[in-house]
Chain A
């Protein structure tokens, strides 16, 4: 699979402060790519470099295999975190203006706007001024403006902030829909559950350096601890514990269960899960046996606090 975007050894310094330290990324075509990192990690700087708002001090960025050039703006749709619209300008005019700035012709822009306004059922907003709309409504307009010119690459920085759950879902579905049609998405957010739900690739930037990058499943594989949560109904707790602690490290834990069982977290290390299971079955009824998969949240915290 080819990469829609490649970032090669990008360095960016502001005075003495290094915002990006030799960062390289590869965003595969057709992926939803989660760009994660704590506040001030350098995500926004990276996104701005991709959007040619700022220039890197060294390194290069390739879009679809070509070194970034001014023409590429029309292939990128960018929804910045700090976003707004002209308050006193009418919605329709404003959308037309922004679409034309992206390189659409007046007619094409109008056609696309009509499509999206109908899709979202907001045709009657056309002649309203932004200041008459609520924040959520304005956010919807911003989303429309971002995707209007059918970009190959969508860059969304905290796209769900300001939306109520219903509209957040609506936007999420639109993003997934666009992705299915072939749009690659870079998705920067602090809402880990959305990453978990939508992204198939992630990268984590921390203190100007890239810490992690890869397929979400691969990253999880890398961060798996081979820990199993188990529940057993047994009368011989001491025997069980004795047997388990011989081979594994064991801790008491809590999870929801309908049974009055003993709940443990077992790290199996180099042993197989079957070895653990056979011990358990020899002591009683196994009610719970799940590998503890690291969540994106866990990975984030673990990587950052290292």
Chain B
């Protein structure tokens, strides 16, 4: 036990002292913020320039409904003959919206045409169709002698109230929060496994190439060394996450202090009361989200996050360690890595596509019980409420598999670390189990 502690300590210190670890810890939040800023900047830059579109409306009924906005600028060139207008539009505009002259306005329905060099964006098509629809609809209403205002008044927008059998009420928007939280946890586990699993593998390969391995395993059991590595590296990873969380909280606190002040001053100074009202409405909504968030099974989520994190990480990183032991260099590891990464990615995809649509469907349930995907899929399902028996079954299977895989990996590890110069095949790996 004492030796295991020594190994954990060494692995932890070796990892934490590593320059790339220090750089990653402090640079990646900056990088993250930088990329977010860049994306924000790029999207505003994209919006700066409106698309120039020419309109040739032969009837002249609709063109007035096309108003300039920040995305699209319309120029009326209906006075030109169509042929010239087309040439002109091809040269000076992004495209030409052609509305032919018809006897009855209703016939325009399928006649409006957009001519351009580049195919139109979905955004634009929807925009144009909506305008044409509304013009035609109100025209229709007028012909039928219906009062548009009254119809508008008669419209009802209902809201489905959601609650559980246990009596708790919940917001519809809460599903988004649940997806976001579950997705974040699942994604976090996947990233952690891939990054730190790789570190474990590299550390094993390093010991092999350094030829220190035989000296060490003449003092400790290979199993102890493997576990020490896995735990030491994960502690370094947890430290990194803790630093990020603390820095994040600090930044959030600082931002809130400043932002809070700014919000107050702008609210009192701003002449546009509407904006302020909108903001406070937003605040209200946020607050209700917050209370709903607090209604989520937070303790259960935290506990299961920790359990699935431990189970998933040990399960995978012991496989990474076995691979590291089996190969001589990182380049040789590729063929063995694929089968490891696949279930992880599968888990994330299932989580994002299946759990969101139907958190309690067969696919989501099955994959939240299969141990190689359960740490990701089950975590995504938990915010939606999972029956206890499924949770327990999934955890029991996960930890059972984890024990088996660690045993299996330790066997390969034990033989592999002393094998040099051979690039093993899958067949050989299974043979090693018998040694």
Contact = CB atoms under 8 A, between A and B. Distances in A.
Interface of A: 14-15, 48, 51-54, 70, 73, 76, 78, 80, 82-89, 97-98, 100-103, 142, 145
Interface stretch (B210-218, B234-242, B287-295): B210-218
Given A70-B221, A97-B6, A101-B3, A145 B215 contact: yes
Given A100-B6, A101-B220, A82 B14 contact: no
Contacts of B221: 70
Interface in B194-225: 206-207, 210-212, 214-221
Contact of A80 (B10, B215, B431): B215
B164 interface: no
B435 interface: yes
Contacts of A87: 210
A97 B210 contact: no
B94 to A, nearest CB: 58
B219 A101 contact: yes
B210 A101 contact: no
Contact of A83 (B206, B211, B219): B211
A274 B399 CA distance: 82
Looking at chain B's contact residues, the main secondary structure is helix
Nearest to A99: B219
A14 B210 contact: no
Contacts of B215: 78, 80, 83-85, 98, 142, 145
Given A15-B431, A100-B6, A53 B212 contact: no
B211 A73 contact: no
Contact of A84 (B210, B217, B220): B210
B218 A73 contact: yes
24 contacts: A15-B435, A52-B218, A54-B435, A70-B221, A73-B218, A78-B214, A80-B211, A82-B214, A83-B211, A83-B212, A83-B215, A84-B211, A86-B206, A86-B207, A86-B210, A88-B14, A88-B18, A97-B6, A97-B10, A98-B216, A98-B219, A101-B3, A101-B6, A145-B215
A14 B435 contact: yes
B435 A80 contact: no
B211 A82 contact: yes
B325 to A, nearest CB: 13
Nearest to B210: A84
A73 B219 contact: yes
B14 A86 contact: yes
Contact of B219 (A82, A85, A86, A102): A102
Given A53-B418, A84-B211, A76 B6 contact: no
A162 to B, nearest CB: 12
B104 to A, nearest CB: 83
A83 B6 contact: no
B420 A82 contact: yes
Given A70-B221, A78-B218, A85 B212 contact: yes
B155 interface: no
B434 interface: yes
Contacts of A70: 221
A103 B219 CA distance: 8
A299 to B, nearest CB: 29
Given A15-B431, A89-B14, A97-B10, A84 B212 contact: yes
Contacts of A97: 6, 10
A10 B214 CA distance: 21
B174 to A, nearest CB: 50
A80 B214 contact: yes
B212 A15 contact: no
Residue among A76, A85, A97 with the highest chain B CB neighbour number at 10 A: A97
What 9 A-B pairs are tightest by C-beta distance, nearest first? A84-B211, A101-B219, A80-B214, A84-B210, A78-B218, A51-B218, A82-B211, A84-B212, A102-B219
A85 B210 contact: yes
A159 to B, nearest CB: 13
B366 to A, nearest CB: 38
Nearest to A12: B435
Given A14-B435, A15-B431, A53 B217 contact: yes
A89 B210 CA distance: 12
A45 B3 CA distance: 25
Interface in B389-435: 418, 420, 431, 434-435
Given A73-B219, A83-B214, A102-B219, 18 more contacts: A14-B435, A52-B218, A78-B214, A80-B215, A82-B420, A83-B215, A84-B211, A84-B212, A84-B215, A85-B212, A85-B215, A86-B212, A88-B14, A88-B18, A97-B6, A98-B215, A101-B7, A145-B215
B433 to A, nearest CB: 11
A186 to B, nearest CB: 13
A80 B417 CA distance: 14
A88 B216 CA distance: 16
A145 B214 CA distance: 13
Contacts of B435: 14-15, 54
A85 B214 CA distance: 10
A14 B206 CA distance: 26
A103 B206 CA distance: 24
Nearest to B18: A88
A83 B431 CA distance: 26
B214 A53 contact: yes
Contacts of B207: 86
A194 B216 CA distance: 27
B345 to A, nearest CB: 33
Residue among B211, B212, B218 with the highest chain A CB neighbour number at 10 A: B218
A15 B6 contact: no
Nearest to B224: A101
Nearest to B435: A14
B222 to A, nearest CB: 8
A87 B207 CA distance: 10
Nearest to A16: B431
Contacts of B10: 97
A48 B3 contact: no
Contacts of B418: 48, 53
B384 to A, nearest CB: 47
